[in-house]
């Protein structure tokens, strides 16, 4: 059986990807340090798939532990690397934490790829590398703009590290540039569980509807968009998870056209904040308490994916709409909060 290492496999996107990998017949080993996840996620994965992934609690910043891991597991055919810190605001306040966690972990894994002859590597990148797009929808040939946060910078530097590494070795790598992942598994057994106050729109909406937050702040209604609020491309986490399986197969079967490739992973459809709020009210048949407030510093106005390359070259397409995704987010929130 093909064995895959999934780092950050108990996190939000990682856990959904582990499910899809197991469904596709892969044997999965998870590394996670539980800094932003919990062991209960493993139970959810097992309940969904009926298969038990191997799990190693390792902090990937500990190089010696990374080496020990690969000494023990010498039959890994590919790595999907999710483990990272991801809060944009926190990265501005604590840049060294972000540079250390997001870059040292990547470097140690790539050194292991060299030393243990692992040639297939999928990386979690982000549409944040594009900054404010010059044209929409945005495709992969668009320039990478100067990052506006240390977090965003780690994604840009990571892509460069991967590209440089591919030039001098047999490494093949795909960076998937995610747009805005939302939603949860249909079973509501795994989903997004942010610690503390959610920074992202959809968890804030569902927590407000569940009564954990008083009011959603909509950051600005005076942008040059159809209704004045910002536009994003909201992608269902299960669709996103499936993109990783397709990307991994591409590398394992040597179907890649370059040793380093990038793909946009989005729906191709832009939705405004107010459209998301309205869709949520329609789906749940309840009024959401929200208020228009000032713009949030650093927000891009509008970004959504040109998905042609992902559709035609990778052979992957999003199946769920923003509404489908919102419904699954709400079902998950209700399950977590015991709401009938």
The residues that touch ligand WQD, with contacts defined as CB under 6 A, are 86, 88, 126, 128, 180, 199-201, 204, 216-219, 230, 232, 273, 296, 299
Based on CB atoms, which residue is closest to ligand NAD, 36 or 153? 36
| Residue 138 DSSP class | B
Among residues 12, 108, 151, 178, the one annotated as catalytic is: 151
CB 151 within 8 A of CB 93: no
82 binds ligand NAD (CB under 6 A): yes
Based on CB atoms, which residue is closest to ligand WQD, 118 or 279? 279
Give me the DSSP letters along 216-281: EEEE-S-SSSSSSS-EE-EEEHHHHHHHHHHHHHHHHTT--SSSEEEEEES-S--EEHHHHHHHHH
Q: Decide which of ligand WQD, ligand NAD, none touches 154; Cβ closer than 5 to 8 Å per partner kind.
A: none
Q: Decide which of ligand NAD, ligand WQD, none touches 88; Cβ closer than 5 to 8 Å per partner kind.
A: ligand WQD
Based on CB atoms, which residue is closest to ligand NAD, 147 or 292? 147
> Is 178 marked active-site?
no
59 binds ligand NAD (CB under 6 A): yes
Rounded Cα distance, 79 and 289, in Å:
43
Tell me how far, at minimum, the Cβ of 257 lies from ligand WQD, in Å.
25
Q: Which of the ranges 18-26, 78-86, 242-250, 327-335 carries the binding residues for ligand NAD, by CB under 6 A?
A: 78-86
Phi, psi dihedral angles at 197 (to 5 degrees): -75, 125
Q: Decide which of ligand WQD, ligand NAD, none touches 48; Cβ closer than 5 to 8 Å per partner kind.
A: none
CB 193 within 8 A of CB 263: no
Residue 137, preceding bond cis, omega within 30 degrees? yes
Q: Which member of 37, 256, 302, 329 binds ligand NAD (CB under 6 A)?
A: 37
86 binds ligand NAD (CB under 6 A): yes
Strand segments (E) across the chain = 3-7, 27-32, 54-57, 76-81, 120-126, 172-178, 180-182, 216-219, 231-232, 234-236, 260-265, 271-272, 290-293
Q: Decide which of ligand WQD, ligand NAD, none touches 13; Cβ closer than 5 to 8 Å per partner kind.
A: ligand NAD
Tell me how far, at minimum, the Cβ of 199 lies from ligand NAD, in Å.
9
Q: Decide which of ligand WQD, ligand NAD, none touches 174; Cβ closer than 5 to 8 Å per partner kind.
A: none
153 binds ligand NAD (CB under 6 A): no
Q: Decide which of ligand WQD, ligand NAD, none touches 219; Cβ closer than 5 to 8 Å per partner kind.
A: ligand WQD
CB 84 within 8 A of CB 124: yes
Rounded Cα distance, 223 and 340, in Å:
37
Q: Site mask, ligand NAD, residues 286-325, x = CB under 6 A? A: ----------------------------------------
Rounded Cα distance, 99 and 325, in Å:
32
Contacts of residue 147, Cβ cutoff 8 Å, sequence gap at least 6 = 128, 129, 131, 153, 155, 156
Beta bridge partners of 27: 3
Q: Which member of 51, 61, 63, 145 binds ligand NAD (CB under 6 A)?
A: 61
Give the SS3 label for residue 19.
helix
Q: Which member of 11, 53, 131, 203 binds ligand NAD (CB under 6 A)?
A: 11
Which residues are designated catalytic?
151
């Amino acid at each position: 059986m093909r064995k895959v290492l999934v780092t950050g496999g108990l996190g939000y996107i990682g856990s959904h990807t582990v499910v899809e990998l197991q469904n596709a017949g892969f044997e999965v080993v998870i590394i996670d340090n539980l800094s932003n996840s919990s062991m209960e996620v493993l139970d959810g994965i097992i309940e969904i798939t009926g298969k038990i992934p191997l799990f190693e609690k390792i902090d990937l910043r500990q190089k010696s532990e990374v080496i020990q891991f690969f000494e023990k597991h010498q039959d890994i055919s590919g790595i999907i690397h999710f483990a990272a810190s991801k809060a944009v605001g926190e990265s501005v306040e604590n840049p060294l934490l972000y540079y250390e966690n997001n870059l040292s972990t990547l470097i140690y894994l790539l050194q292991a790829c060299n030393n243990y002859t692992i040639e297939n590597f999928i990386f979690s990148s982000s549409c944040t590398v594009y900054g404010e797009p010059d044209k929409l929808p945005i495709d992969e040939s668009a320039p990478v703009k100067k990052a506006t946060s240390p977090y965003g910078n780690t994604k840009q530097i990571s892509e460069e590290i991967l590209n440089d590494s591919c030039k001098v070795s047999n490494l093949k790598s795909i960076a998937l540039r995610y747009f805005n992942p939302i939603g949860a598994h249909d079973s509501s057994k795994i989903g997004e569980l942010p610690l503390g106050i959610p920074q992202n729109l959809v968890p804030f909406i569902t927590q407000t509807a569940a009564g954990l937050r008083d009011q959603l702040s909509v950051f600005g209604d005076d942008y040059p968009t159809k209704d004045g609020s910002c536009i994003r491309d909201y992608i269902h986490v299960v669709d996103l998870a499936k993109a990783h399986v397709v990307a991994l197969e591409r590398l394992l079967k040597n179907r890649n056209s370059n040793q380093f490739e990038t793909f946009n992973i989005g729906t191709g459809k832009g939705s405004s904040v107010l459209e998301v709020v309205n869709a949520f009210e329609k789906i749940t048949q309840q009024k959401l308490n929200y208020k228009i407030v000032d713009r949030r510093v650093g927000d891009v106005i509008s970004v959504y994916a040109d998905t042609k390359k992902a559709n035609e070259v990778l052979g992957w397409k999003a199946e769920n709409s923003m509404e489908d995704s919102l419904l699954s987010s709400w079902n998950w929130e209700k399950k977590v909060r015991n709401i009938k």
